[in-house]
Structure 1
Amino acid sequence: MYRSGNPALSDSTFEKSAYKEANWWDEDSNLMSIEGVSEKTGILLLITATTAIATAMRMPEAGALILLGVIGGFIIAMIVIFSGSMNPMLICTYAAFEGLALGGITWIFEVYLEMPGIGILAALLTFLILGVMIAIYRAGLIQWDRNTAIAVTSALGAIVLIYLISIIGGFLGFEIPYIHGSGPIGIAFSLFVVGIGALCLVADFDFIEKGVERGAPKQLEWRAAFGLMVTLIWLYLEILKLLAKIAARTRR
C-alpha cells in the first residue's frame, strides 16, 4: 500500500497490528464498505454545511466562532490523527467545528470582500471535482503507484512549506511575492494547489479501497470518512481563494 498524502490516513490505519487491544477486529465483524464510508462522509458533510450556514447567518456578531472553529477543529483533528480514534462523536464534533470556521470565512469573502455567491460556487466546484476524480479513479485513468505518491507528497510538502513561510512572514513583516495576489502567477499557483488537492482525493480513494479489500472492520469507516473530509475542506478553501483571485482580477 502506498502512503496517502493525507495525514489522517497513515500506513497503519488499516493494519490490524495497530489495534492490538481492539476486540472488534475479528472474523465475525461487519466489514468496512465503500457505501458505508460514503454514508458517513455524507453525515459529516451535512453537519459541516449546517453549522457553516448557521454561522454565516449570524455574522458579523458571531465572528469569534471563526477562531473557535479553527482552533477547535485543529485540536480535534490532531487527537483523531495521533490517537487513531474512530469515535463518531469526536469526528462529528470535528465536522461541526470546521463548519463554524468555513461559515465565517465564506461570509468574509461574500460580504466583507463583496463577492456574493462565491461560497456556493466554491462548494459546487468542490463536489464537481470530487465526482470527476471518483469517475477518473473508477475508470482506471489514474494509477496511484509509488512514483505518483512520491510526486504528490513532494508537491504537498512544498505547498505546506510555502504557506508556513507566508504565515511566519505575516508576523515578521514580509511576504512571498505574487502567490497571494490576483495576477497570473497567483492564479497559476492556486490552480496548481487545487490540482494537487484533487490528486490527494485520488490517494484517499485508493487508500480507502485498499482498506475494504483487506477486510478492515466497519468501525474504520468513520476514520476513513474523517480522512476524506480533511481533503475536501482543504480543497474547498483553496477553490474559494482561487475564485477570489479571479474575481479580483476581473474587477480591474
Structure 2
Amino acid sequence: MGVSTSAPQEGITVVTVDFPPVNALPVQGWYDLAAAVRAAGADPKVRCVVLTAAGRGFNAGVDIKEMQRTTGHDALIGANRGCYEAFAAVYDCEVPVVAAVHGFCLGGGIGLVGNADAIVAADDATFGLPELDRGALGAATHLARLVPQHLMRALYYTSRTATAQELHQHGSVWRVVPREHLHDAALELAREIAAKDGCLIRLAKAAINGIDPVDVRRSYRFEQGFTFEANLSGVADKHRDAFVSSKEDRR
C-alpha cells in the first residue's frame, strides 16, 4: 500500500499508486507520489516514466473522509497543496510520463493524466470531475487538455464522465486496450519513447512544455482559490458531509 517504483526495463521507471479501496489519496499520498515521479525523472538512466495504479481504479481523487474527520482546515490545505505538487511533478518531470488508466479516473486523477504526456487506457476506463458534487472546484485546467472546451464545461457542470473510447476519438488517449493488456500496452509506448537518445528526449520535454499555451500550474492554482471560497461559505462542508454519509449508508 502506498506509492512504489519499479524498473521493469532499461530506461523505464513504473510508479504505482496503491491506496485501497479506491485510490482516494490521503494528503501524504499526494506528496509521496510527487516525490516518486520527481526522483524517477531526475535519474539520468530513466528516459520514460509510466504512472499506473493497483486495485479497482486509477484514482478517485482526494481522501474526503480524511478531510472531514480532521479538525480545522489543515487537511483541506494539505490536499490542495499535495495535489498541486503531484500534478506539477508529472508536468515538470524531466522525461515523458505515460499514464496507464483503468477503471475510474476522477478528480485528482484528471489532474494527473491531464499533466501526463500520453495516456493509454483500458476499455473500462472513465474520466470525470465530480468536484461540484464534492464541494470543490478545480482540475478544469486539466480536463480542458483532454476534451474540447464546450464538452469540458458540460462535463464539469454535470459531473458526468467520459469513456476512454470517447477520449480516444478526441485524440487525448493514445490507445484503448482490454484491461488485461493495459500494462503491456503502456510499456510498449514507453519502450518506444525510451529508445530515443536520453539527452534529446529531455530537451524535447522541456521544449514542448516551453511552448505550452497554458501555464497549467498557475491556471490550476487560480481554480483552487474558489475551493477555499466554497469552504469558507460553508457549502463545501455540506457536500463533503453528504458524500461521507452516503458512503457509510452503503456499508
Q: Give the TM interval when normalised to the shorter protein.
A: under 0.3
TM-score when scaled to structure 1? 0.27
TM-score when scaled to structure 2? 0.27
Structure with greater helix percent: 1
Q: Which has the larger radius of gyration?
A: 1
Higher relative contact order (CA 8 A, sep 6+): 1
